[in-house]
Amino acid sequence: MRAEPQSFDRVLSSMCTEPHPAAREAAERFLATNPGDPGTYPTVADLEDDAVSLLGEIAGLDEPAGYVASGGTEANVQAVRIARERAENGRPTVVLPESAHFSFQKAADLLDVELRVVPTTDDGRADLEAVRACVNEDTAAVVGVAGSTEYGRVDPIPELGEIADSVDALLHVDAAWGGFVLPFTDYEWHFGHAPVDTMAIDPHKMGQAAVPAGGLLARSSDLLDELAVETPYLESTSQATLTGTRSGAGVASAVAAIEELWPDGYRDQYVRSQNNAKWLASKLESRGYDVVEPALPLVAASVPTPLFEALRDEGWRLSRTGDGELRVVCMPHVTRDGLESFVADVDRLETRVGLEVAGASE
Ligand SMILES: *Cc1c(COP(=O)(O)O)cnc(C)c1O
């Protein structure tokens, strides 16, 4: 096998990044461990406890329950599962904004739970009136997104918590991507700000851990116990995770990255990333493109399809939002130098594409 992984130079749309060197080293060391079998692999099981308490510290929760999941998808699926197990009626529903990640669709399919999708307001956040009108006694959970995948928007989490409480539903916050930048903003998003019951928060995104390292947090261990099944052939007696054998690399790298970077390293990174996002937004705006103001380090801008395709052909790894805007996630590997050469390519290719379009219409 002589294949080489891609370089991160032109990767602009990924929500993952190069692991911090300490995280890479820890991942390699713990590659052959399985936190799913704590009786056999006690060291990595202890590290997982450390990971959960560190994640709790970031998310405003003193005595957190939870585990290191394979990613935000698993954390969201499991949060919906907790809500379903706790619900007393036959066909529970989950109320969530249209900005929620597609992993909730997987949760609904797997768990036979019905999704009630409500619109967002013009600023891309959950429409509270619509959420209020949608909840009822069948609602098992209300979902708030803290850092949406497409636009980096943060829903009004405390208000969503009140609505969830009013119908005795759980409040789940999806901070899979946003969890490691939100502590340095003024947003109210975590357990300390609102009656949050469960949360997805991924070390393998802004946390700079190696993949796979997602996080599921719960306000109390009885919520996590809703997931527990008995484990006859292991020395431990029950298991709350969705997967059985799991990567010790993810767990160890999460602890290493957080110990290294929380809070100062993450704060510096947030400031760099947010400044880069603002810089890119202003450069694209001054070229006449419609730009969605970056609330978090994520820029969305409407560019013509031929330009988008020309940039992809140049090797820029870009993606589009559901509405077709170009999307740039200012992850740690996305530097100002990199963005400068991206903007230079926008200028160069814009001219070329413009000439081609003009030529074709003659
Ligand atoms: C990335 C993301 C997910 C999914 O996480 P994976 O780690 O890719 O499974 C869920 N929710 C949000 C908001 C995300 O940005």
For the 264-361 domain, the top CATH level (class) is alpha beta
What is the best residue among 101, 104, 321 to mutate for testing ligand 1's pocket, by most ligand atoms within 8 Å of CB?
101
Q: Averaged over 348-356, what is the pLDDT?
A: 85
pLDDT at residue 360 tops 70:
no
pLDDT at position 57: 98
Least confident interval from 210-214, 230-234, 268-272, 358-362 = 358-362
Q: Measured between alpha carbons, how far is residue 353 from residues 229, 339, 350, 359, 360 in Å?
A: 58, 20, 5, 10, 10
Q: How far is the CA of 101 from the centre of ligand 1 (A)?
A: 7
Task: Report pLDDT digits (tens) over 305-321.
Answer: 999 999 999 999 999 99
Instruction: Please report, as a single letter, which amino acid is at residue 190.
Output: H
8 A C-beta contact, residue 124 and residue 145: no
- Residue of the CA atom closest to atom 3 of ligand 1: 72
Q: How far is the CA of 109 from the centre of ligand 1 (A)?
A: 17
Q: Tell me the pTM.
A: 0.97
Q: Averaged over 319-346, what is the pLDDT?
A: 97
- Residue of the CA atom closest to atom 12 of ligand 1: 176
8 A C-beta contact, residue 56 and residue 196: no
pLDDT category of residue 361 using cuts at 50, 70 and 90: low
Strands 198-200 and 238-239 come out as unpaired
pLDDT at residue 341 tops 90:
yes
Q: What is the CATH number of domain 21-261?
A: 3.40.640.10
pLDDT at position 89: 78
pLDDT at position 282: 98
Q: How far is the CA of 298 from the centre of ligand 1 (A)?
A: 14
pLDDT at residue 358 tops 80:
no
Cβ neighbors of 261 (< 8 A, separation 6 or more) are 20, 207, 208, 269
Distance of CA 136 to the CA centre of its chain: 28
Q: Averaged over 104-121, what is the pLDDT?
A: 97
Q: Measured between alpha carbons, how far is residue 241 from residues 35, 50, 184, 231, 266 in Å?
A: 10, 17, 30, 11, 28
pLDDT at position 304: 94
- Residue of the CA atom closest to atom 10 of ligand 1: 72
Q: Averaged over 35-45, what is the pLDDT?
A: 96
Mean pLDDT computed over every residue of the chain:
96
8 A C-beta contact, residue 273 and residue 297: yes
Ligand 1 atom at minimum distance from 177 CA = 15
What percent of the chain clears pLDDT 90, i.e. is strictly above it? Answer: 93
Q: How far is the CA of 32 from the centre of ligand 1 (A)?
A: 26
Task: Report pLDDT digits (tens) over 226-249.
Answer: 999 988 888 778 899 999 999 999
pLDDT at position 233: 81
pLDDT category of residue 182 using cuts at 50, 70 and 90: very high
- Residue of the CA atom closest to atom 7 of ligand 1: 71
Tokens of 32: 């052959």
pLDDT at position 294: 97
pLDDT at position 91: 87
Q: Which of 145, 163, 132 lies closest to 199 in space, CA to CA? A: 145
8 A C-beta contact, residue 71 and residue 176: yes
What percent of the chain clears pLDDT 70, i.e. is strictly above it? Answer: 98
Query: What stretches of 167-304 show up as alpha helix (H) in DSSP?
Result: 221-225, 248-261, 264-286
Q: Averaged over 263-276, what is the pLDDT?
A: 98
Q: How far is the CA of 146 from the centre of ligand 1 (A)?
A: 11
Task: Report pLDDT digits (tens) over 284-311.
Answer: 999 999 999 999 999 999 999 999 999 9
Ligand 1 atom at minimum distance from 100 CA = 13
Ligand 1 atom at minimum distance from 202 CA = 7
pLDDT at position 357: 66
Residues having CB closer than 6 A to ligand 1 are 15, 71-73, 76, 101, 103, 145, 149, 174, 176-177, 202, 214
Q: How far is the CA of 105 from the centre of ligand 1 (A)?
A: 12
Ligand 1 atom at minimum distance from 148 CA = 13
Q: How far is the CA of 149 from the centre of ligand 1 (A)?
A: 7
Domain positions in the chain: 21-261, 264-361
